[in-house]
Structure 1
Amino acid sequence: MPAKTWIYDAILYIYALSLLFSFSDVATKNRSAKRMGTGLLAFVWLLQTVFIAIRVYEHQYMPVLTMFEALFFYCWMLVTVSFMMNWFLRLDLLVFLINLACFAIMALNFFSDPAVTPISEQWEAKDELVFIHITLAIGSYAAFLVAALLSGMYLFMHRKLKGKQWTAVMTRFPSLDKIEGYTYRAVLIGIPLLILSVVLGMTKVVLEGDMHLLADPKVLSSLFSLAVYAFYLLQRISGKQPGYMLAFWNLAAFTVVVINFSLFNLYSGFHHWIWM
């Protein structure tokens, strides 16, 4: 593992440079800085992809079965999503915030001990059902993170507009209606992914014959997360709540997801993603 630390360092240093250039673009609308930041981010994505390919070659399975691997794959997915958003939606500030959050997660992951326990001793590394279950969950978390960042942008802009405090940074924001619409679409992507992930996880439990695990804290907290997002959707569809309240509900739902991922893994009977 020490021989591979060079790729960790390279990713973090290049990622940091990319964020510096991206911030310059967000703050001053510097197109040259944007091109440089995007180019460095592309190199980060390439190094991430190489790392994943090496793990696949060495271990002969898709590397998502440990906390270290899952968070790395999550960051790779966020970088990929940010590229797509930058290309199709031109949301420079949102792309910067996504990558800032991704950099923090990756730094925490790299500076932690990579010697991690597998998700479960009973689950085979080549189990396709487990692989699909985990990747769907990671995809849903990525969508929910994007939605949460959008809600934060909405609340920030709503407060500034209400107080008539216009700033140059706000020129990089889409309209409130667009932000709310993008949030809604991100949640619509995340919910079915999480539903499918939970269903596959419960299916795996049933196939293993451990029916008592259906009442596992991880299962129950995942169902509660879905219920909170379902409530957000009902409020949004009903049209009875103003946009800022919907943003609050969405941030509350994402908080539940974070607690579900970080806290309930410690008490789960079959999710043992912890560092040694």
Structure 2
Amino acid sequence: MFTRSFLYDAIIYLYALSLLFYFSDVARANRSAKRMGTGLLSFVWVLQTAYLGYNLYEHLGRWVFSMFETLFLFSWVLVTVSLIMSRFFRIELVVFFVNLFGLAVLALNFFSDSNVSPMIDSWNVNDELLFIHVSLAVGSYAAYTISAIFSGMYLFLHRKLKQKSWTNTMKRLPSLEKIERYTYVSVVIGTPLLMLALALGVVWVLIEKNVNVLFDSKVINSLLVLCAYGFYLFQHHSLSMSGPKLAKWNLAAFGIVLLNFILSNVFSGFHNWQQTGVGG
């Protein structure tokens, strides 16, 4: 049981990590990130194949798979297809979303099977699925906070340069180009983390069969956060928005993040930290 649980955890974490590298390549063509993402995804495929091979050996003479094994096989097919697409076609964005869906299916499969992990009885921070969800969400908010600091720094330096007002403080700041790049990298890190956190949140909702949770104010606002930063990334790539405007938009997006935190403590029905001691 311990070995199987360890294998499942390894598949989930490696799968999620590969998606982070793939998103980095999607956001800005990065061959090193793509190689890392493909390497990790290939290792996930190896682990899944080993598990399927063992299961096929166990099922010799009985050609009936359980729902768990069927969904696991479905996830394996998605990984296989995405690896083929990544190898022979330049459609990284499709590969990313295929695997984001595949990870959600795999997580739903693992955490809803009583033989793999305990079923969730409540929204409890000790639950492994919730721990991963919260960790990813906190990581994304930390990245967004750093990006907002850089944006504020960008606007300060840009205004000083425009006024031709040199100070000792300005000498200690990076160039506008570097600040803009650091801001972008922070958003690139935060956005896939939030996407993974939301995907696992949906998994929890499906396990609990509590669809009403999807209409919670915190969930809706989290989607707004994702859209706001997605728009930032789109504008950054299209170059249709100037640096100062991009910085202002990033600060506005961070304002939605702050609103999200407020909602979790005031209006959210299940993300209230003061009542439950957790948030995501």
Q: TM-score, normalised by structure 2?
A: 0.54
Deviation larger for 205-214 or 148-157 = 205-214
1:193 maps onto 2:187 in alignment: no
3-state DSSP of counterpart to 1:205: helix
Partner of 1:141: 141
Partner of 1:269: 269
Partner of 1:131: 131
Q: How does 1:86-165 map to 2 (within 5 A)?
A: 122-165=122-165
Partner of 1:253: 253
3-state DSSP of counterpart to 1:164: coil
3-state DSSP of counterpart to 1:274: helix
Q: Which amino acid aligns with 1:155?
A: L
Q: Is the 8 A contact 1:266 1:274 kept in 2?
A: no
Larger Rg: 2
Instruction: Determine the C-alpha separation between the residues in 2 that align with 1:185 and 1:260.
Output: 22
Structure 1 pair 210/253, CA: closer, same or farther in 2 (3 Å)?
same
Q: How does 1:30-109 map to 2 (within 5 A)?
A: none
Q: Which amino acid aligns with 1:214?
A: L
Q: Is the 8 A contact 2:136 2:194 kept in 1?
A: yes
Q: Which amino acid aligns with 1:159?
A: R
Instruction: Determine the C-alpha separation between the residues in 1 that align with 2:234 and 2:274.
Output: 35
Instruction: Determine the C-alpha separation between the residues in 2 that align with 1:196 and 1:235.
Output: 22
Q: Is the 8 A contact 1:221 1:264 kept in 2?
A: no
Structure 1 pair 273/247, CA: closer, same or farther in 2 (3 Å)?
same
Structure 1 pair 129/275, CA: closer, same or farther in 2 (3 Å)?
closer
Measured after TM superposition, the shift of residue 121 of structure 1 is 8.5
3-state DSSP of counterpart to 1:263: helix
Instruction: Determine the C-alpha separation between the residues in 1 that align with 2:197 and 2:262.
Output: 17
Q: Is the 8 A contact 1:157 1:170 kept in 2?
A: yes
Measured after TM superposition, the shift of residue 124 of structure 1 is 3.2
Measured after TM superposition, the shift of residue 265 of structure 1 is 3.5
Q: Which amino acid aligns with 2:123?
A: W
Instruction: Determine the C-alpha separation between the residues in 2 that align with 1:216 and 1:173.
Output: 41
Structure 1 pair 243/133, CA: closer, same or farther in 2 (3 Å)?
same
Give % identity: 53
Structure 1 pair 172/133, CA: closer, same or farther in 2 (3 Å)?
same
Measured after TM superposition, the shift of residue 126 of structure 1 is 2.5
Q: How does 1:149-228 map to 2 (within 5 A)?
A: 149-228=149-228
Instruction: Determine the C-alpha separation between the residues in 2 that align with 1:123 and 1:229.
Output: 28
Measured after TM superposition, the shift of residue 214 of structure 1 is 1.0
1:244 maps onto 2:237 in alignment: no
Structure 1 pair 125/177, CA: closer, same or farther in 2 (3 Å)?
closer
Measured after TM superposition, the shift of residue 154 of structure 1 is 0.2
Alignment: residue pair count:
157
Note the aligned Cα RMSD (angstroms).
Answer: 1.7
Structure 1 pair 221/121, CA: closer, same or farther in 2 (3 Å)?
farther
